[in-house]
Chain A
Amino acid sequence: MTAPTQLDTGAGDGGRHQDADETASPRGILHRLGSITALYTVAVFAAEVLFFSLRASDRFLTTNNLILTAQNVAVLTVVACGATFVLITAGVDLSVGSVAILGEVVAAKTIINAGGDGLFDACLGIAAGVAVGWFVGIINGVGVAYLKVPPLIVTLGTMLAGVSAAQIITDGVNVPNRTLGGLGNDRIGGVPYIVLVGLGVVIVTGVLLHFTVFGRHTYAVGSNAEAARRVGINVPGHLVKVYALAGALSGFGGVLSLARFNTTSIGGHQSDPLEAIAASALGGTSVFGGIGTIAGTVVGVWIPGVLRNGIIILGVQPYWQGIIIGLVLVGTVWFDQYRRRAAVGAAGQRPGRKRIAAMRASRLATRRSQSTHPPTTTKQEGEP
């Protein structure tokens, strides 16, 4: 009779306390905390708001300043929501800034060529800007999913090509256009339209990610693409849709930027992709895929937004913000991962490895001997 593996299974239960471990769930609480991965980010955000409130409450804590900040982060919010989807699939989209530029250029040109100032022309421009983003997104998606080129490379390519295309369309000269100015700057009940539009995008993408089958498949593809494929999910097709969504949102972000500044900004948006990734990461999205929330991303957008605003109010050199954001970004993600590793052992990011090692070891052991057991032990993976 084999004494089948006393080897630990990666289950961390070698027979001693398995019942307690397998049924009790201290980890139940942990995972609920884990589902609010932005918890630390929220703390950072609160600390930041508190700091500026104490230092300059008269100018910082005003409705007008709040609205101004919201207006300033609106474009990045829209872009970052799309980037979050891509990151959850374990991909990355460096082209969002270029696509935003392309979006605003195409929107401006379309409006001008339509000859107009009317609502119809404005809508046409918006649609064109979104469509061109969607199109570039499909190129990204096809490159990643079907041509199997790494996302970093594909989107680097479209990033370079996107700016180039925008320069060709405009001969390298920015196109001023005021048609969408109302969307970017007018207010309703004291709230700028652009803020409401940003909020709308947050709600729609949040529902899409967290409550629809599409969203769940997005997590599944990022979590274990092979598992998704085996249950019949069209993984490449889904990736194309995700990149197309990110592209469309980037194009729309460009349209909003045009609306806000009444001109295209070919030289701008350079740091958009990195800011979008930073916002997602700050908000708890894992660059390894499978984890992320829209709410977290929104907080991740607001942290640099408020910092920029507060620094200016305090009269500190604005150039400090890069250093501060960089530190906060790395610090938050480090702390989050540290906590997770402590909570679920090494299983956190890569659940596979130790398990497979344990399987190999145990099979070897079973084969090697029918009655005795080599004193091999593998480390525990599962329980705290």
Chain B
Amino acid sequence: MTTSSTPVLEGRGLVRTYGTVNALQGADFAVEAGTVTALIGDNGAGKSTLVKVLCGVEQPDGGEIFLDGEPVVFRTPMDAHRMGIETVFQDLALAPHLDAAGNAFLGRELRRFRVFNATRAMRRSTMKAFTDLGVTTVQDVSAPVMSLSGGQRQAVAVARSAMWAKRVIFLDEPTAALGVVQTRRVLDLIRQIRDRGLGVVLITHTLPDVIDVADRVEVLRFGRRTATFGIADATVELLVSAITGVFSNVAAEAPVDVTEIDVAGGGR
């Protein structure tokens, strides 16, 4: 994979507390351009909070965020958008009554005479962007999103983010509701986006997808990064043992060679 020396987006020592709940307790995270980084961890490990902090939805109580090595602060999601960071949340956040083009350009409409929608231009650009990304399932970008299937909606949401992202895309469980074929299409789309040189962060519970598409894996446990490794030596068993805390190679633990790890604790 093309890896740059500096991560395009990096969080160091991130802390986020909700009342008495410490969702993030000094979490580190890094994503490099042109790679798919899988962010895995059990429920309550802090994955969602980490994503929210890194894309400006929530403010960290501590720690720093670096963009291309420079410290940044995202006060709102729009700050992150302006820096080329897009997020596809699980609920997709599409307006069902608008068409794919309307959704793709929502809030960033192309205009004519300042106030009018440049509808045709937006449809053309959307169609082109979808075609470039290999999204062949959505043929009609002028059909209301509510008339599309779940797989098509997912494609619209991911493609929309890909249209606008210049640096990083976060995908929160993009395949959770999809069938086999739809999942494969989304994974293909993810590779396509990676090959454009963007950093892709994939949050998922579907471990075979991680093996399938990710280049690197970062594991969160109890609000900290407990493991990070390349995908080359990873197996589902290793991922499971990392999620459940049997395996760890960062933080307090001494670094462990991935190839030597005992994965006996891997069943779940």
Binding site for B on A (CB under 8 A): 1-15, 18, 21-23, 25, 27-28, 30-31, 34, 211-216, 219-220, 222-224, 226-228, 230-233, 290-291, 344, 347-348, 351-352, 355-356, 358-359, 362-363, 366-367, 381-383
Contacts and interface: CB of A to CB of B under 8 A. Distances in A.
Nearest to B106: A231
Contacts of A358: 150, 177
A230 B157 CA distance: 13
B1 interface: no
Contacts of B98: 216, 219-220, 223
A220 B95 contact: yes
A356 B119 CA distance: 31
Contacts of A211: 116-117, 119
Contact of B93 (A1, A4, A230): A230
Contacts of B250: none
A382 to B, nearest CB: 4
6 contacts: A10-B177, A11-B150, A27-B147, A31-B143, A212-B117, A216-B117
Interface in B93-144: 93-98, 102-103, 106-109, 111, 115-117, 119, 136-140, 143-144
Contact of B147 (A6, A30, A223, A231): A30
Contacts of A223: 95-98
A146 B117 CA distance: 28
A7 B180 CA distance: 9
Bin the interface of chain B by size: 35 or more
A225 B50 CA distance: 24
- 7 tightest CB-CB pairs across the interface, nearest first? A231-B107, A11-B150, A290-B97, A11-B149, A9-B150, A359-B177, A223-B95
B80 to A, nearest CB: 11
A228 B95 contact: yes
Given A2-B208, A11-B177, A355-B150, 19 more contacts: A9-B150, A12-B150, A18-B181, A22-B137, A23-B136, A30-B147, A211-B119, A213-B109, A214-B115, A219-B102, A220-B98, A220-B106, A231-B106, A231-B108, A344-B146, A347-B96, A362-B176, A367-B205, A382-B147
A235 to B, nearest CB: 11
Interface string B79-98: 00100000001110111111
B149 A12 contact: yes
A232 B107 contact: yes
Contact of B95 (A9, A219, A232, A382): A219
Contacts of B178: 4-5, 9, 11
A9 B146 CA distance: 14
Contacts of A15: 179-181
A363 B176 contact: yes
B197 to A, nearest CB: 24
B17 interface: no
B206 A13 contact: no
B26 interface: no
A383 B137 CA distance: 14
Contacts of A291: 97
A366 B111 CA distance: 45
B251 interface: no
B102 A216 contact: yes
Contact of A18 (B89, B106, B173, B182): B182
Contacts of A214: 115
Interface string B160-199: 0000000000000101111111110000000000000000
B72 interface: no
Contact of A7 (B96, B149, B152, B179): B179
Contacts of A7: 179
A342 to B, nearest CB: 13
Contacts of A355: 150, 177
B208 A4 contact: yes
Contacts of B147: 27, 30-31, 34, 344, 347, 382
B77 A232 contact: yes
A232 B143 contact: no
Contacts of A23: 136-137, 139
B151 interface: yes
Nearest to A8: B179
A228 B106 contact: yes
Given A25-B143, A219-B95, A9 B117 contact: no
Contacts of A12: 149-150
A83 to B, nearest CB: 18
A290 B177 contact: no
Nearest to A354: B150
Contact of A359 (B90, B93, B96, B183): B90
A19 to B, nearest CB: 8
A213 B97 contact: no
Contacts of B97: 219, 222-223, 290-291
Nearest to A214: B115
